[in-house]
Amino acid sequence: MKFFRNININKSTLVVCLIYFTIFAGYGAFGQFNLYLLGTGLTAFKVSLITGMVPLVMLFTLSFWGMIADRFGRKYVLLIVLVCDSAITLLYLLHGGFVYIFSLTFLYAVFSNPKTALMDSVTMDYVNSHGATDYGKVRLWGAVGFSVASFMVGYFISENNIKILFPITAAINVVAGILIFSFMKFEKNGNGDESINFKNLKFLFKDKMVLLFFILIVFFAIFSSPFSGFYNFYLQDIGASNKIVGLALSIMAICELPFYFFGSKIVKKYGFQNVLMLSMLATGIRMCGYYFISNPYHAIILDTTHGICYSLFAVAVVEYISNALPDKWRATGIALMWTAYNGIGVFFGGLFNGILYDNFQGKGMMLTQGILTALVAIITYFVFDRRNKQNALLLS
């Protein structure tokens, strides 16, 4: 009961929470898209081209969306991408071959990828201006939405046409758009700062520690990338049905909740460096654990660590970027961070996963990537520890 008494939600906070819920419910509903592709009769190579193209598009477009949002208005741009994303998702209901699906997925990636970064920047704006809550307590409702949608869609597509995920996803995004349009106050012209452009993007990396942070995020994303597409294949390798896959995704999202709720407090108490290392190391150990599992329900037990592995990571990196960069660059900085993670990292990680999966199957892929992830965690800790000691010497 104490947990619920601590949730102080005014009207504005409730709206932001509901928008997070719906946006991530859309992601959850779309989460089994790769299984839809496998059912279309396309070869595994063509499926990998389609799924691998999504993070590649993010690599080239997300920073653009971030700068557009910083300059012309973050909420306004978020509404635009939601409307376009909904329309494009419905086009999957039409019949088409590889070229059609590839082209449509390209457009989907252009308008779907920026939703998380834009919503994160909108939330940090709200947190900094109102001070009534923190990022983690708002972000946890995204995990709730993802969990509910993952389970429901996973249940329905076990007995009905898998294409049902497309109208469900579109409808959820429409609801998110309605909430934004009806209840959020729009910036008339953003901040109108003409200095926000690609030419001045180098300003973000004047601090070498910020640049090193982005590099470490890329390598962590590459090695932990099985969770961005190949985890479904691992589960099917050990005998999981579509319903169990949906259950696994739902449970992972549920386990994120307490760590989102207390995430900001944990980061403030123990420090960004320690929390980031903990989440990375836990991810590596967890992935190694999958190697020894042959029962999908045992894998789901291991999935309960997802809150430590992902939620703490997400809270730590978003708050680090928000504090390390000027406010006017917030959306751009967060967009670049997710580009490093979900764009560069997931794209090259997907290629690496494909090689590992073809040669060692799901278990071997998880073990290899888990060992490499743990190594990145240790390096990350010592990199930041060295910087902290240097700063301490300068202040002494």
Q: Which two tokens stand for residue 56?
A: 């590649």
Nearest in space to 126 (alpha carbons), one of 184, 179, 86, 77 = 184
What pLDDT shows up at residue 200?
Answer: 63
What pLDDT shows up at residue 63?
Answer: 82
Amino acid, single-letter form, for residue 124: M
Nearest in space to 221 (alpha carbons), one of 309, 285, 120 = 309
SS (H, E, C) the chain: CHHHHCCCCCHHHHHHHHHHHHHHHHHHHCCCHHHHHHCCCCCHHHHHHHHHHHHHHHHHHHHHHHHHHHHHCHHHHHHHHHHHHHHHHHHHHCCCCHHHHHHHHHHHHHHHCHHHHHHHHHHHHHHHHHCCCCHHHHHHHHHHHHHHHHHHHHHHCCCCCHHHHHHHHHHHHHHHHHHHHHHCCCCCECECCCCCCHHHHHHHHCCHHHHHHHHHHHHHHHHCHHHHCCHHHHHHHCCCCHHHHHHHHHHHHHHHHHHHHHHHHHHHHHCHHHHHHHHHHHHHHHHHHHCCCCCHHHHHHHHCCHHHHHHHHHHHHHHHHHHHCCHHHHHHHHHHHHHHHHHHHHHHHHHHHHHHHHHHHHHHHHHHHHHHHHHHHHHHHHHHHHHHHHHHHHHC
Interhelix angle 346-395/44-72, rounded to 10 degrees, is 40
Distance CA 225, CA 41 (A): 25
Distance CA 370, CA 99 (A): 35
What pLDDT shows up at residue 7?
Answer: 47
What pLDDT shows up at residue 198?
Answer: 58
Q: Which two tokens stand for residue 320?
A: 């680090």
C-alpha angle 86-90-91 in degrees, rounded to nearest 5: 120
Q: What averages of pLDDT result for each successive group of 10 residues across the chain (396 residues)?
A: 49 85 92 81 78 83 85 86 95 90 94 90 78 78 87 72 89 92 64 54 73 94 89 90 83 89 92 93 97 96 96 92 80 86 87 87 95 96 81 57
Residue with tokens 């390096």, as numbered in its chain: 379
Amino acid, single-letter form, for residue 287: M
Distance CA 42, CA 199 (A): 42
Distance CA 10, CA 60 (A): 38
Amino acid, single-letter form, for residue 376: V
Q: Which two tokens stand for residue 47?
A: 């499926």
Q: What structural domains does the chain harbor? A: 11-190+204-395 (1.20.1250.20)
Question: Structure pTM?
Answer: 0.77
Class of residue 131 by CB neighbours under 10 A (exposed 0-12, middle 13-18, buried 19+): exposed
